[in-house]
Structure 1
Amino acid sequence: PARDAEALAAARNLLATGRIVAVKGVGGYHLACDATDSRAVAALRARKERGGKAFAVMCADPATAEQIADLTEAERTALTGPRRPIVLLRRRTRPGGPRIADEVCPGSPHIGVLLPYTPVHTLLFGLPGDPPGPRVLVMTSGNRSGEPIVTDDEDALTRLAGLADAWLAHDRPIASPCDDSLLRVRPDGTEQVLRRSRGHVPRPLRLPVPVRPALAVGGDLKNALCVGDGEHAWFGPHIGDLGDLAGLEAAARAERHLLRLTGVTPTLVAADRHPGYHSARLARRRADELGLPEPVSVQHHHAHIASAMAEHGLDGARPVIGVAFDGTGYGDDGTVWGGEFLLADYAGHRRFAHLAPAPLPGGDAAVANPCRLALARLWAAGLDWDPRLPSVAACSPEELGVLRRQLERGLACVPTSSMGRLFDAVASLTGVCHRAHYEAQAALELEAAAGEAREADTLAYPFGYTDGPGPLRCDPAPLLRALLADQRSGTPAPVLAARFHRGVARAVAEICRRARAATGLTTVVLTGGVFANGLLEDECAARLTAVGLTVLRHGEVPPGDGGLALGQLVVAAHERRRE
């Protein structure tokens, strides 16, 4: 094998000729290719079986980044700062600049951009006098989709075989896997971290309430562990999904490394309340190994809200109005929650309102098929399956027949109040996305469509509100009727999507206004993976502020399940302290 300058020149030449190179960094291997070469990007996408999910790109320098994306001053500061995260930027093409292949981030107005953060990256792009190579590289984690990032050199040669055409390594061992962090910069210049990893961990977070030495294991998706002791908490790196042995082993290694770094010896373990989660079983096993009592089980959306409270330094003396929107979370009644308005502090929570539930036909199978979610929502609202609807047209007659019988008989149709699933359903009803090939694809594409028509008008689709025994129900049936009427009249999909986003934001403001009237509470927390949607988050914050409510949004701690463990930690510590 080539070494030193010869190896760098060979790698640069391979990239320039359309090959895929595995490049060793500080937290793991990347798979790299020329971001302007459509064939190379398509080959990498096919080899990783990535579907249409966007790739991030590494630019040789800030000047190159400015040729492919619009940068505000705050975005430039985030991009060039010492943490060197991936920053989501608005795409653009400047005359004479690199033209990024459409296959890098198909259908998205944004592109994830990062700059070199290791000497190998800088040398790979070349020093003055070196032969030229690509100035923009796709840099995606070195693994097969769904697996942890590869860190070991021997492992890389086997696990990345068939993905990479060549390997570029260095002689420093990687002690701990660590993916790149990901963030977006809001219009007001504040940052929202979407994946908290390299550059952010294990930097401590100061807690508003002291905790006993504890380990919180997070959830099954976008997993990240958290340990705490006294007034500080430390996140571990982003692990990803715990659906297989490799993910569970990666979580175990991350825990050992984090405990060794922090010196924390847990006297308490916390986990999600879902009885079937891999993370919950991991927590039970760890508690047994450590000779500790059974883990404290924390309700999923309560943990989301507590995470944001802790990040903002709230001591829990006064509850907040927590708006927790995500795809799935085990509810107190055994159903799937995800469109929740909870009155919460660290000691507990009360469900004030929620999205009206609809069947989730087939569970995870429905999540991959937004057209089925759309038809289930129409069925729950008492609306016909008009053959002219995009969602109906997307299904075969056989699929429609099975789905109708399934809904009529209630077979494998757990109710869900998930706002994430409503976004998926509307993505199909508007014709934006009927089949999802990666997580949150439908919602991302719906957000992108809405962004195209954000200034088209100011209309917002209405929700209905049902009082009665128990929590207030937020009913999307009126919204669906209005959307379908607009669609039949020829309203473009981006306008439909924008009106839907405004409708959700208006409903959030209305329910929080009612919560304030009923309780006197004035602080609202926006949390859960749905609030990674910048368009929705900004619209909700603006409407809530306009009615005099204080709004807390995530910054350093991700709004999705990557921030869940912090909430588990503070809730569990509070519960055990009371005991």
Structure 2
Amino acid sequence: MSLVVTQREGAIPVQRWLVRVLGIVQGVGFRPFIHRLARRHSLAGSVLNYAGGVDIEIEGPEAALEAFVADLQAERPPIALIESLATEPLSATGHPEFRILPSRDGESGPILVSPDVAICADCERELADPADRRHRHPFINCTNCGPRYTIIRAMPYDRPNTSMAAFPMCDRCRVEYGDIDDRRFHAQPVACPQCGPTLAYREPAAAGEAALAAAVEALRAGKILAVKGLGGFHLACDATNETAVRLLRERKGREQKPFALMAPSLEAIRTFCEVPDYALGLLQGAQKPICLLPKNGTEAFSDSPGGPGESENASVPFFGVAPSIAPDSACFGVMLPHTPLHRLLLEQGGFTALVMTSGNLSDEPLATDNGEAFRRLGHIADGFLFHDREILVGCDDSVVRPTGAGTIMMRRARGYAPFPVRLPHAQL
């Protein structure tokens, strides 16, 4: 992909700079952003990934180069993070094009991989639009959202180095991938119903929309499902069904520890939780972690006969969800759907909430591989909703406690990992 910049006779003398950017700058739409920025400022040059970051060469008048660098930092893609930016002068070449070059191998350096990113608002709109070709596609994504860390085999971040290498792009996806004005320009996980991945269900065997319908039917019937997410499998059941929740506790070997909930909307969460304003950004942001939020009417809940979670009729949910979800806690751990598959499952089923707990026995690792999940979770789950996109790096849900003074990180995983935590002291 290249754009041609025409140099006029008598124009202001040009300079050429190397701009080296380190941080989370791969898998976040950074090269397309740089290409568009160069076009805006009428600059020639190139951009490429290498193992440690992104190298940009820009050529044009000095004022335009300075404006480019300023805009690069001020307008970076929403999920990019710039750790450092350095410039150095180069000899001008006079070449009129700006190009995205193939990634450069053979170099090493600090490598920051993008975390997985929850489905964005644009993809949510397309998912719900009957006129869109990705309507109800459970793997819709773009440069601003979708799997990253969990599908990467090696750096630099290019499709052949991810588990999406198993799914050759169809002609229409390839056109989008190569169109600088498209939201999926150089989006490595780009996919559609024609080129995959594919959703499946067992047992009985079903695929595509039939798989989703079978999963919804099973959940409505009080069954326990293993659902393949971004970084591993969840064990799911209808959060309003006390019998199903108790059965999941028995099979998973988790007697008292609270289960996490996934709800379709803020409105649904508010039926059983208090949602303070300072929690909204976490619930709705790019990470969508599990947020520990106070139960509605906590005092009434705690004063019920026998203590929290006990009642005269245990089959009647408290505040719309089963009492045994978090029997000894004043909080529920809740999250909104972070993948299109989870969103479709909740909305099609009309569920107030689903239990979404880690796909493992208590104290065992998270199941990530399909075959592994069938073997390890077969005695827990009544059915499996899964797909054929390989999870290369397992990653559990993050857990946070929002407070008015800031966020307390309880478990730092999906949406945050593997980005490092910077400590507030000098480097040694």
TM-score (norm 1): 0.34
**TM-score normalised according to structure 2 size:** 0.46
Higher relative contact order (Cα pairs below 8 Å, separated by 6+ residues): 2
Higher helix proportion (structure 1 or 2):
1
